[in-house]
Amino acid sequence: MTDAAGRIPGPRLQSVEIVTPALREDCWATHDHLDHELLSSITGVVTVTTAHAVFVVPRGAAIWIPALTAHDVRASPGNAMRCTWFLRGAVPDALALPTVLTCSPLLDDVLTHLDDEHADLERAPERRARAEAFALDLLSLGARPDAGLPQPRSPWLRVVTTALAASPGDDRTVEEWARSCAVSTRTFTRRFRDETGESFSQWRSRLRMQAAMAALAAGAPVAAVARRVGYDSAAAFSTAFREVAGVSPRAFAVGRRDDRFAKEVD
């Protein structure tokens, strides 16, 4: 159900669990909500795209989406997600923009309490307000300094970033991409940096690491992930991945399966 503007309203601090089909990715086209949304990835990987950035949310993490923020969602096959809505109002500064979050066990307990005790809390507004405020404090403490992968404004650059998001291993050079856009290499590189704040090479490397993390969290083998994101060897991929994540791809994958980051073992 949507309002006159096509927005999807949410219940007051209640959670809804959604499970995607086992054999295919599920997608929700661009929409927004009247209230703040916390979208948690329980068993797979969720990708959220806003007008300004792309966020990859692996298993065990969540993304905070402020009210009225237009976004679309893609979820990996067989993924379980939990959507929790918070009424609009003052929120901590850390939650003013879409933000990837680490969900602590305590936060899970508070959200479960708010959901399970919904009827009783409706009759005790002061208790509900305290629980909601505590949940927001926990959310702000779990916020990561991650602004997502920036998106360019120009439609012709969006064609490039959309193509790369669909195929991170595409190894076309910046010169080849510039020719496909009918602009000079200098114009391409200048506009890309002006609109994203990053060089094309930096942006593509970040995209590849995001795609790699999503694939590893979903259980894909390291060698297959390396090929998928454009690396000729698993060794080169592991070196690049370690520089970004601080652990090897194998340790990252093991940590996600255990719902925690693994200690380095390789």
- 151-257: CATH topology is Arc Repressor Mutant, subunit A (1.10.10)
Sheet of strand 61-65, all strands in order from the earlier edge strand to the far edge: 15-19, 80-86, 36-41, 61-65, 99-102
Are the beta carbons of 86 and 139 closer than 8 angstroms? no
What pLDDT is stored for residue 11 in this prediction?
43
Residue tagged 């993490």 (tokens)? 61
Q: Which residue spans of the chain are classified as CATH 2.60.120.10?
A: 15-141
Question: Which of 10-24, 111-125, 162-176 is predicted with the least confidence, judged by mean pLDDT?
Answer: 10-24
Contacts of 123 (CB under 8 A, 6+ apart): none
What is the reported pTM?
0.65
Which tops the pLDDT comparison, 1 or 125? 125
Q: Which residue spans of the chain are classified as CATH 1.10.10.60?
A: 151-257
What pLDDT is stored for residue 230 in this prediction?
94
Candidate ranges 93-102, 118-127, 190-199; pick with highest mean pLDDT: 190-199
What pLDDT is stored for residue 122 in this prediction?
64
What pLDDT is stored for residue 22 in this prediction?
61
Mean pLDDT (the chain, rounded): 81
The span from the CA of 162 to the CA of 15, in Å, is: 31
User: Which whole-number Å values give the CA distances from 225 to 74, 166, 232, 238, in the listed order?
Assistant: 19, 14, 11, 10
Please give the average per-residue pLDDT across 28-48, as a whole number.
87
The per-residue pLDDT for range 75-116, each reduced to its tens digit, is 877 778 888 888 777 677 778 889 888 777 888 888 887 777
Candidate ranges 46-50, 124-128, 216-220, 261-265; pick with highest mean pLDDT: 46-50
What pLDDT is stored for residue 185 in this prediction?
97
Percent of the chain at pLDDT exceeding 70: 82
Query: Is the pLDDT confidence value at 262 over 50?
Result: no
- 15-141: CATH topology is Jelly Rolls (2.60.120)
Query: Is the pLDDT confidence value at 156 over 90?
Result: yes
What pLDDT is stored for residue 118 in this prediction?
63
Contacts of 3 (CB under 8 A, 6+ apart): 9, 34
Query: Is the pLDDT confidence value at 182 over 50?
Result: yes
Query: Is the pLDDT confidence value at 261 over 50?
Result: no
The per-residue pLDDT for range 201-247, each reduced to its tens digit, is 999 999 999 888 878 876 789 999 999 999 999 999 999 998 887 88
